[in-house]
Structure 1
Amino acid sequence: MSPEVRAVLAMDPRPPRDVLVADLRERLRPHAQVHEEVLTDFAAPGARAALAGADVLVTGWGSPRVSAEVVAAAPRLRAVVHAAGTVRHHLSPAVWDRGIAVSSAAAANAVPVAEYTLAVVLLAGKRVLESAHEYARVRSRAATAVSDAGGNHGATVGVLSASLVGRRVVELLRPFDLRVLLHDPYVADADVRALGAEPVGLAELFGRSDVLTVHTPLLPETTGLVDAGLLARLRDGATLVNTARGPVVDADALTAELLSGRLHAVLDVTDPEPLPPQHPLWGLPNVLLTPHVAGSAGNELQRLTASAAAEVERFAAGRPFAHPVTRTALERSA
């Protein structure tokens, strides 16, 4: 018997995301009738007919916005399953107003971000970036003097926010001989300790950390949260890691600290993104810039498609989502 649930995909199907679309189609087929066309514009010819018959909308990167008008055009729609992280930018309040269930693969996408963070935290402790630059400059073992100033034995790692990624980072840090601090105003101290970290205030987090890693969602109240005052609390030689969102950190204040040479940084996100070609951070030996690569890529996309397909299977079977996104939760998450 063919599945009775009708699913419509809405995302950017162009390379390299065509791999995600193809895998998603294959995984969805046992659980739903999948509309042939991938929607990239809800106003395009044929899109309204597809929406009118959709029970579940499976979205991904590049999805057009699901506005109140789109919701009204989809009278059968009962669920939106996002095969990526945040739904903040493409789902309007009308989705929740209509009682449509929402799910996200944010937990699956958190895995590679946390793995990237773990890698750069350990490399930062070993002063690998600075050692590599010095080694290229002097081309002798004298460059080891840089790494001799660091080390991961008993070092302190500060984690800003117990987001999905932040929690995963704390978990990954457990096997290492590190002291882990965590600040999140929405998490009780007992819960922070249960995660395996020491609860601290925001100022103390910055004051005690050898490496400070940012995992705060970008919200109006978190824009510019990491300001000049907090950066000044970081000890000389400390490293700031940001895999969250660039605007969480005051860009001018961070640039000033990095130009002075007092701090180091590993930035997978910046403000703006990318930085202008002539921006001074491009040439600094104490800064590693990567092009937003911490999230899912390559074979890691299979986690996203597996998560989305599993949620559609639950929906088709009449079971609740494993990774629901509620309106209340969205107010404090990415």
Structure 2
Amino acid sequence: MTADVWLPLPPEDIEGLPEGPRYLFWDGGEEFPADPGDCVFYVVPYMKPSTVGVRPLPAMGAVQVVQTLSAGIDHVEPGLPHLRAGVRLCNARGVHEASTAELTLALILASLRGVPDFVRAQDRGEWLGGFRPALADRGVLIVGYGSIGAAIEDRLEPFELARVARVARSGRATARGPVHPFTALPSLLPEADVVILSTPLTETTRGLVDAGFLGRMKDGALLVNVARGPVVDTNALLTQVRSGRITAALDVTDPEPLPPEHPLWRAPGVLISPHAGGPTSAFAPRARRLLVDQLNRFVNREPLRNMILTTGP
């Protein structure tokens, strides 16, 4: 048996890969590059449907590591029951923080300052003046304070905010201030002008932003979702934005991709980007650095980074 490593980036484009394994390129095509049973380190194709990424898992009897190139792991979870015990699942912490935080800030500023209205007015040749809200002096609530949430706060720091509140699965102290548990949301939501969702999709966070959550947001608040679409109850969100009480900027939706006839496209006060948080020019160099580091650790039997779980009974 060979010790194969399946990569969704051409191995010849990755400098620094350790000697030993056989590196094979597979980005989700119909044909596998070799016998999946010989794969010991599987890097899941990036930005492919879940059905693509999990397809080889039932045949990967020798795999020891499954590495995603996304921060979330929800797209590979359906395939985990097919794996033997002891397989390590790692995510791409450190790859997407810069790009996702950049887009988050762009969505906030575009929504508050009315950039979509300006673009439509430009198409009509119309000079659209008026008074618009600024980000300065606003209160921001970050729901999901992992590495991406922290990177978002890094970029918000120069904008003269009135306050930033942070929420995660469990409370803790940080140098910037407290991170509150999810149980604190009812008291924090009414104070936030901008609510940013950057939490992973788990059974706890699925549908977290429901009618009750949205109803606690203050009038005129902006909801920004750069997490996963199912974190938000789409029907509840539609009710709120149609009333004009809140607005939304969504990089992810439920369903996704959003069908052409879906009412979210035409809902008032909603800005939609097509899950563009991660795929930028910043992705490839950071992904390559992560893979080189992880594979050197793997070959040298050193602890891996970003371990999320180990399969087992």
The verdict on a shared fold, with TM-score over 0.5 as the criterion, is yes
Q: Percent identity?
A: 30
Q: Indicate how the Cα distance of structure 1 residues 10 and 65 shifts in structure 2: closer, same or farther if over 3 A, else same.
A: farther
Give the Å deviation of 1:127. Answer: 4.4
- Corresponding residue of 1:14: none
Matched position secondary structure for 1:240: strand
Give the TM-score, by structure 2 length: 0.81
- Corresponding residue of 2:286: 303
Please identify which structure carries the higher helix content.
Answer: 1
Distance 2:171 2:198 in 1: 14
Give the Å deviation of 1:318. Answer: 2.6
- Corresponding residue of 1:9: 6
The equivalent position to 1:229 in structure 2, one of 196, 203, 212, is 212
- Corresponding residue of 2:171: 187
- Corresponding residue of 1:281: 264
- Corresponding residue of 1:87: 73
- Matched-pair contact (CA < 8 Å) for 2:18–2:295: no
Q: Indicate how the Cα distance of structure 1 residues 31 and 113 shifts in structure 2: closer, same or farther if over 3 A, else same.
A: farther
- Corresponding residue of 1:64: 54
Distance 1:300 1:272 in 2: 25
Matched position secondary structure for 1:107: coil
The equivalent position to 2:305 in structure 1, one of 303, 309, 322, is 322
- Matched-pair contact (CA < 8 Å) for 2:241–2:268: no
Q: Indicate how the Cα distance of structure 1 residues 297 and 177 shifts in structure 2: closer, same or farther if over 3 A, else same.
A: same
- Corresponding residue of 1:239: 222
Matched position secondary structure for 1:56: strand
Give the Å deviation of 1:184. Answer: 2.0
- Corresponding residue of 2:188: 205
- Matched-pair contact (CA < 8 Å) for 2:28–2:45: no
- Structure 2 unaligned runs (5+)? none
Q: Which amino acid aligns with 1:81?
A: Q
Matched position secondary structure for 2:15: helix
Distance 1:114 1:39 in 2: 26
Distance 2:60 2:10 in 1: 26
- Structure 1 unaligned runs (5+)? 12-20, 329-334
Structure 1, 118-127 or 221-230: larger mean CA deviation: 118-127
- Corresponding residue of 1:115: 102
Give the Å deviation of 1:320. Answer: 1.2
Give the Å deviation of 1:285. Answer: 4.8
Aligned pair count? 300
Q: Which amino acid aligns with 2:59?
A: V
- Corresponding residue of 1:104: 91
- Corresponding residue of 1:217: 200
Q: Residue deviations 1:52-108, cap 9 Å, x none?
A: 3x44333332423464x4343x2xx4333333333343351465x532333321331
- Matched-pair contact (CA < 8 Å) for 2:228–2:253: yes
Matched position secondary structure for 1:219: coil
Q: Indicate how the Cα distance of structure 1 residues 237 and 285 shifts in structure 2: closer, same or farther if over 3 A, else same.
A: same
- Matched-pair contact (CA < 8 Å) for 2:7–2:24: no
